[in-house]
Amino acid sequence: MSFWDQALEIARVDMRIERRLGDVSRIVLPFAVVALLVFPLALGVDLSAISLIGPAVFWAVGILFGMQVALRQAASDSPERRDLYSLLGVDPAARFVGRSLSGSVLMVGFLAVLLAAMIVLYSPRLPQGWPAPMILGSFLAAIGLTELGTLAGEVTAGLRNRTALASLIVVPLALPLVIGGSQTLESLARDTGILPWLLLLVATDLALAVAGVALARPLEEASR
């Protein structure tokens, strides 16, 4: 079985498990939308302030709850399953790619729903021509966050309290993604050019992909 066949098989099974358990669609996403709702309630009836903070709250809630999406595999991955994959001859890099693929699909869907909810709840003043940069920025941030979560899951595999430890790894390293994603919209509003921020997101995604693939084997061997 080729590298990509292995990666796609792992992604396919991950998606099937998500469809059955609904970790993202039935647990994380509703709570994230509730979190979006809490901010306007706390601010009262100051509609202009609510409208102003909408995109910032979207990114804050998106990253915090998106971390749960990104780390869901770390929480469910058992040592027996990891051993089984090794003994079936699965390339650890293919496993990383497969999990990043399925996680990215879920994360993109998660951020898309969250974005729609933010627009409805906050009525933000968005600059003209916002949809394409906002969607592209969210898409790139979603991929990076998933890669980061998958990588953090691998780094902490076999450790006690791995979910908590993985979160501690993800939060600081997600900063380029938060900055790149949020500044894409800001730069559009200020008319200062969005390209540098999109490039920051692309570079971060690529760096995480290279690190994930290159470190997959050593991390798997070290986790036992």
Partner 1 sequence: MGPHIVLNDAGISLGGRSILRGLNIEVAPGDVLGIAGPNGSGKTTLLRLLATLIAPDRGGGSVLGAKLGTPEVYAVRRLIGLISHTPAVIGELSIRENLEHAARLGGEDPVRVETALRVVGLTEAAPTRGEASSFGMLRRTEAARLLITRPRLLLLDEAFSGLDVDAQALIDALIARTTEHEGAVVMVSHDEAHLADRAGRVMTLSAGRLDTMA
The amino acid present at 92, given as its one-letter code, is: P
Least distance between partner 1 and beta carbon 94 (Å): 9
Cα 140 off chain centre by: 9
Using CA atoms, how far apart are residues 46 and 135, in angstroms rounded to an integer? 27
- Crossing angle for the helix pair 131-155 and 175-190, nearest 10 degrees? 170
Strands, DSSP E only, in the chain? none
- As to burial, measured by CB atoms within 10 angstroms (0-12 exposed, 13-18 middle, 19+ buried), residue 83 is exposed
Q: How far is the CB of 176 from partner 1 (least distance, A)?
A: 33
Site string for partner 1, 16-45 (x = CB under 8 A): xx--xx------------------------
Q: Which of positions 139-198 make contact with partner 1 (CB under 8 A)?
A: none
Residue in 34, 47, 83, 120 binding partner 1, rule: CB under 8 A: 83
Stretch that binds partner 1, among 1-9, 106-114, 136-144, 157-165 (CB under 8 A): 1-9
Q: Which stretch binds partner 1 (CB under 8 A): 13-21, 59-67, 139-147, 157-165?
A: 13-21
Q: How far apart are CA 65 and CA 27, in angstroms?
A: 10
Smallest separation (angstroms) from partner 1 to the CB of 86 = 6
Total binding residues for partner 1 by CB under 8 A? 23
Distance CA 16, CA 215 (A): 27
In the complex, what is the shortest distance from the CB of residue 80 to partner 1, in angstroms, rounded to a whole number?
A: 4
Q: Which residue has the tokens 């990509």?
A: 4
**Interface with partner 1 by CB under 8 A: which residues?**
1, 5-6, 9-10, 13, 16-17, 20-21, 78, 80-81, 83-90, 217, 224
